[in-house]
Amino acid sequence: MTAYKGYLIDLDGTVYRGKEIIPEAVEFVSSLKEQNLPYLFVTNNSSETPESVAQKLQNMGIPCETKHVFTSSMATASYLTEQREKQSAYVIGEDGIQKALEQAGITYEEDQPGFVVMGIDRSITYEKLAKAALAVRNGARFIATNKDVSLPSERGLLPGNGSFVSVISLSTGVEPTVIGKPESIIVEQALERINLSKEEVLMVGDNYDTDILAGINGGIDTLMVHTGVTTAEQLKEKQEQPTHVVSSLKEWKI
């Protein structure tokens, strides 16, 4: 087994389930910390800031500082600054994406923005979507933090950002550039952040269609853990298999 020099780790289903911690994940992350192995929690969540994600993980007993968190909003902000388009965006989304773009120096603009950026926005209105559609038709580049079609909640599965992104892509005929898992952009941005090469890093996650595919698409090794979405049965059906598979993170020797 390769000794990886760094870990990219999913959150929901891998480290916790909703509000409940997965105990093996605490031991796993604590071992990484003890051995001074760098790790980054890589999440499609665009609504929270890295500070609030780190706080939540600390409260659950996971060793985590703000520098250990990499959200799809941070990846989006970082990606935009590398593009040649006008550095302004019309933004639909919550705190996480608004602050990430602001901190990256992307100006907020409604009429002639270089980008239209969409993250989950639970205060969505028709007018926000109308403005986004007009800007995209007007030539703004369309960016989605992630394309998850549903969002787990205590009430059940609610519509996720991917469902709202389809409002704009269907009505304009323009498909977005997607930053989050399973796309490779968030993986590439995370590698820059953790400052390691593809061969040195392992992507850990419970969801084949987001976490594992992101690793595969990004060209890095993957560790599938069956504590969340994808079952062993479902995994059998997948053509491209993860590099490693465990039932729980307890089985993984760092």
Residue from 30, 51, 107, 122 touching a second copy (CB under 8 A): that is 122
How near is the Cβ of 219 to a second copy at its closest, in Å?
28
Separation of alpha carbons 144 and 122, rounded Å: 15
Annotated catalytic residue within 10, 121, 148, 211: 10
Angle formed at CA 214 by CA 16 and CA 207, multiple of 5 degrees: 35
Q: Is the Cβ of residue 170 or residue 232 nearer to a second copy in the bound state?
A: 170
CA–CA distances in Å: residue 190 to residues 73, 125, 215, 220, 221: 12, 32, 11, 12, 14
Q: Is the Cβ of residue 47 or residue 49 nearer to a second copy in the bound state?
A: 47
| Tokens coding 72 | 């799809």
12 is catalytic: yes
Residues 200 and 223: beta-carbon distance below 8 Å: no
206 is catalytic: no
Residues 158 and 151: beta-carbon distance below 8 Å: yes
Give residues 206-235 in contact with a second copy (rule: CB under 8 A): none
Strand 88-92 and strand 39-43: the pairing is unpaired
Angle formed at CA 4 by CA 2 and CA 10, multiple of 5 degrees: 120
**Residue 35 lies near a second copy (rule: CB under 8 A):** no
Residue from 81, 112, 125, 247 touching a second copy (CB under 8 A): that is 125
Q: Pattern of binders to a second copy over 140-179, x per CB under 8 A?
A: ---------xx----xxxxxx-xxx-xxx-xxx-------
User: What is the DSSP code string of 142-165?
Assistant: EEES---SEEEETTEEEE-HHHHH
**Residue 121 lies near a second copy (rule: CB under 8 A):** yes
Query: With contacts defined by CB under 8 A, how many residues of the chain interact with a second copy?
Result: 28
**Residue 129 lies near a second copy (rule: CB under 8 A):** yes
How near is the Cβ of 104 to a second copy at its closest, in Å?
26
Residues 80 and 104: beta-carbon distance below 8 Å: yes
How near is the Cβ of 175 to a second copy at its closest, in Å?
13
Q: Is the Cβ of residue 48 or residue 121 nearer to a second copy in the bound state?
A: 121
How near is the Cβ of 152 to a second copy at its closest, in Å?
12
Q: What is the DSSP letter of 139?
A: T
Residues 185 and 79: beta-carbon distance below 8 Å: yes
How near is the Cβ of 228 to a second copy at its closest, in Å?
19
**Would you please indicate which residues are annotated as catalytic (active-site) residues?**
10, 12
Q: Using CB under 8 A as the criterion, which residues of the chain lie in contact with a second copy when the complex forms? A: 121-126, 129-130, 133-134, 137, 149-150, 155-160, 162-164, 166-168, 170-172
